[in-house]
Amino acid sequence: MTVVAHLSDPHFGSESPAVAAALVDDLFGRAAPAPSLVIVSGDLTQRAKVHQFRAARAFLDRLPAPYLVVPGNHDIPLYDVWSRFLHPLDRYRANITEDLLPHVVADGLVVVGVNTAHGFTFKDGKVTVEQARAAAEVFAAHPDRFKILVAHHPFVLPAGRPARERVDGAEHALPILHDAGVEVICSGHLHAAHASDTGGFRDARREILAVHAGTCISTRTRGEPNGYNRLVLDGDRFTVHHRVWDGDRFTESSHKAYRRERGRWLHDPDVVAA
């Protein structure tokens, strides 16, 4: 069994210290077993300030597990126009990582992150065919592993969300990622947690599950409490556990379980959560 924690949108600069402390406590103490990997799907900072990146860096350094992180639109300076257009991710690269196509191979998984935050877009993200191909190349080196893609902006939206919230270029990137064997895409940005009822992107052979995490520790919540996802892979079962802050600690709020049958993911309410 493999456990991955999926966090998003901490927005250091608008974080709640109490929630942040409880999150670390939950990740590596209360919610057993501890994850073997932590995914952070962007918007590490509130306004891309150096001190906010340093706080994010300190948070990452406290995680006693490997992590994979991608930037979000808030990690690009908004008002400093010079930086925004010429060096949009300089502070992210200096404080978090130079790697804008990070990948981690662990515990039967290969996880690849792509950067969808660019200086020339205000809030919405963009993914290019070249980025999708580069990610596919990494996945191709690990044919027998469970494949997860991480991006800040969503490639597949929950039902009812306006189409403009989908990352630009998703329609061209998804078939490439699909052919590369991607099973799950983890994203954030919406500040709303969700997991597909069925495969969010499909063709005759296969489906991709879309998993969204809300904001893990920011006070900028949008109608739902802080939370994060625990992804549990166990053979042909995949379960997304949603853990939320109840004002005192993180507790399990809900879960969705899936079963893989002949390459397709079925939402399976009858599967007992792992």
Give the binding site for Fe ion (CB under 5 A): 9, 43, 72-73, 189
Identity of the residue, 41 or 239, whose beta carbon is nearer to Fe ion in the bound complex: 41
Query: What is the number of alpha carbons within 13 Å of residue 258 lying toward its C-beta?
Result: 27
- What residue is closest to Fe ion based on CB? 43
Residue 69 β-bridge partners:
40
DSSP assigned state of 184: E
Identity of the residue, 109 or 167, whose beta carbon is nearer to Fe ion in the bound complex: 167
Identity of the residue, 80 or 179, whose beta carbon is nearer to Fe ion in the bound complex: 80
What's the chain's Rg over C-alpha atoms? 17
Report in angstroms how near the CB of residue 142 gets to Fe ion at its nearest: 29
DSSP assigned state of 15: B
Identity of the residue, 34 or 78, whose beta carbon is nearer to Fe ion in the bound complex: 78
DSSP assigned state of 87: S
Report in angstroms how near the CB of residue 117 gets to Fe ion at its nearest: 8
Identity of the residue, 92 or 258, whose beta carbon is nearer to Fe ion in the bound complex: 92
Identity of the residue, 72 or 102, whose beta carbon is nearer to Fe ion in the bound complex: 72
Q: What residues have CB less than 8 Å from 247, skipping those under 6 apart?
A: none
Report in angstroms how near the CB of residue 62 gets to Fe ion at its nearest: 21
Report in angstroms how near the CB of residue 31 gets to Fe ion at its nearest: 23
Tell me the CA distances in angstroms from 176 to 130, 245, 248, one per residue in order: 10, 37, 43
Report in angstroms how near the CB of residue 9 gets to Fe ion at its nearest: 4
- Is the Cβ–Cβ distance between 167 and 124 less than 8 Å? yes
Report in angstroms how near the CB of residue 261 gets to Fe ion at its nearest: 34
Q: What gap in Å lies between CA 32 and CA 107, rounded to an integer?
A: 17
Q: What gap in Å lies between CA 86 and CA 52, rounded to an integer?
A: 21
